[in-house]
């Protein structure tokens, strides 16, 4: 049996996620159904998600729904637990600092440890669809590399710099039960939650009972 092809090309072991971005994102989105976003306090956001073990039509549909939900919320990345699904999957549609667009998905992502000479921190503002209307400065490495699988179960690697590196780290964190506000000082976390309480989300969210 021939190996199933991946959606993206591979270059030096890394996914080429910069080609045909508009067409690939649109195809996912048109097949998907937008779902409301879960917000901080919802239990699914605060525990490690389950590994994906079945690479089937249900997984493909979830990824389509995630792209549709991401577009509705005007986000650049979305983890499955942000729409209430307890599985390790994230999607992204994100520009890097050079203005290059990256579109793709990662199943069962693992963020790779960086050697000391690659850990150049970028102290930029960060926000989250699950903490709507709030932003805070957070230092993260300006390069990131994630290993995982695609929707067919093929091994893939994704790498990014600048803002896209931040996105890869942010979304992987989600799937292990961490929000960006968990990495802030108590004072900054309190301020982010205050911003959220005072703001109004521009997209549908799931209220916490």
Q: Is 32 left (phi over 0), alpha (psi -120 to 50) or beta?
A: beta
User: Is it the case that residue 39 has pLDDT exceeding 70?
Assistant: yes
User: Could you read off the pLDDT of 93-113 as tens digits, one per residue?
Assistant: 999 999 999 999 999 999 999
User: Could you read off the pLDDT of 129-163 as tens digits, one per residue?
Assistant: 999 999 999 999 999 999 999 999 999 999 999 99
* Beta bridge partner(s), residue 14: 11
User: Is it the case that residue 60 has pLDDT exceeding 80?
Assistant: yes
Single out the residue of 83, 102, 85, 74 nearest to residue 163, CA to CA: 102
Other C-beta atoms closer than 10 Å to the C-beta of 167 total: 24
Out of 25, 126, 145, 171, the active site residue is 171
User: Is it the case that residue 6 has pLDDT exceeding 90?
Assistant: no
Other C-beta atoms closer than 10 Å to the C-beta of 194 total: 11
* Residue that is written with structure tokens 């690659």 in the block: 118
Single out the residue of 104, 120, 80 nearest to residue 159, CA to CA: 104
User: Is it the case that residue 90 has pLDDT exceeding 90?
Assistant: yes
Share of the chain above pLDDT 90, in %: 89
User: Is it the case that residue 12 has pLDDT exceeding 90?
Assistant: no
Q: How far apart are CA 2 and CA 188, in angstroms?
A: 52
Q: Which residue has the higher pLDDT, 2 or 106?
A: 106
C-alpha torsion angle, residues 12, 49, 126, 201 (rounded to 10): 130
User: Could you read off the pLDDT of 41-59 as tens digits, one per residue?
Assistant: 999 999 999 999 999 999 9
198 catalytic? Reply is no
């Amino acid at each position: 049996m021939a190996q199933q092809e991946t959606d993206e090309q591979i270059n030096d072991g890394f996914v080429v996620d910069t080609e045909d971005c508009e067409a690939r994102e649109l195809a996912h989105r048109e097949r998907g159904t937008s779902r409301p976003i879960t917000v901080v306090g919802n239990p699914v956001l605060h525990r490690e998600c389950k590994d994906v073990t079945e690479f089937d039509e249900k997984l493909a549909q979830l990824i389509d729904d995630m792209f549709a939900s991401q577009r509705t919320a005007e986000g650049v990345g979305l983890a499955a637990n942000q729409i209430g699904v307890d599985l390790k999957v994230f999607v992204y549609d994100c520009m890097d600092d050079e203005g290059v667009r990256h579109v793709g998905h990662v199943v069962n992502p693992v963020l790779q440890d960086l050697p000391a000479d690659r850990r150049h921190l970028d102290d930029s503002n960060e926000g989250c669809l699950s903490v709507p209307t709030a932003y805070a400065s957070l230092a993260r490495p300006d390069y990131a590399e994630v290993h995982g699988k695609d929707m067919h179960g093929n091994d893939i690697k994704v790498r990014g710099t600048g803002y896209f590196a931040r996105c890869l780290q942010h979304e992987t964190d989600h799937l292990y039960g961490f929000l960006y506000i968990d990495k802030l000082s108590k004072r900054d976390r309190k301020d982010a939650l205050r911003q959220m309480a005072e703001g109004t989300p521009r997209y549908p969210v799931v209220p916490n009972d």
